[in-house]
Amino acid sequence: MPSALRGLSLGMTTLGIIGSGNIGTVLAKLAVAAGIDVVLANSRGPESLRDKAAELGVRAGTAVEAAEAGDVVVVTIPLGRYAEVPVEPLAGKIVIDTMNYYPSRDGRIDELDNETVNTADLLRRHLPESRTVKVFNNITSVNLLNLARPAGADDRSALPLTGDDAEARKVVVELLDKLGWDAVDAGPLSESWRHERETAVYVDPYVSEGSSLERIIGGYDDPGKPAPAADIEKLIATAHRPPVKDLQF
């Protein structure tokens, strides 16, 4: 059963982010606002990030530099490119996996389609000496930014997370707290399907009435709908796994 957690003391000073898309950009904003240094990377190299890095107040780097610099490192790239993530610099580190499976973008992945692995297993196997935690994959970047609240706020929302290393999960809980979010620990990575695509906790709990994922993707700035930890716990505990092979986009 999932449980809401409070974080432990977090000694990190730098967050590495591999991927400068919507989720990576919002995480950089939230981290800078929380007083955390950020090294942001993408596949095109630091020069392509010069303007964005200046606007966000972060340092642009290569994927290796982000991996080396980060006390915790976020991987937020298209799932089909997970094998491009540097391995050696991430040995022993906590790695946050935000990736989802979109066959139209990633191509068909047989292991996912026949449900022998979860999306989180792909990165975990690629980074065998890292401590992988799955989180930030069930929410849009718009709602991730707009629903962030200070600790103790009555309308604070929660995100589910999974990981095989209990201490790594606790560190990530504390990071979420600093970024403006409560957390629901949903257990090991084998349970990460509970907050993947097409489950009840995916996107919908955070979207305001009258909005939709399609509108948000189309550029609608949704203010969001608070989703407290108790609500997220229930959705995780009662989750049903949809057939992965039926995903079409």
Angle at 149 between CA 145 and CA 151, to 5 degrees: 140
How far is 208 from 227, CA to CA, in rounded Å? 10
1: DSSP letter: -
Structural domains of the chain, ranges and CATH numbers in brackets? 3-246 (3.40.50.720)
Cα–Cα distances in angstroms (integers) from residue 102 to residues 52, 81, 106, 109, 216, in the given order: 26, 12, 6, 10, 17
* pLDDT at site 23: 97
pLDDT for the residue 3: 43
pLDDT for position 222: 87
- Below-70 pLDDT ranges, the chain: 1-11, 212, 214-220
User: What pLDDT is recorded for position 243?
Assistant: 83
Residue 57 is predicted with a pLDDT of 98
Whole-number pLDDT of residue 79: 97
pLDDT tens-digit readout, 96-130: 999 999 999 999 999 999 999 999 999 999 999 99
pLDDT at 69: 97
CA distance 241 to 130: 27
Token pair, residue 141, equals: 């970047």
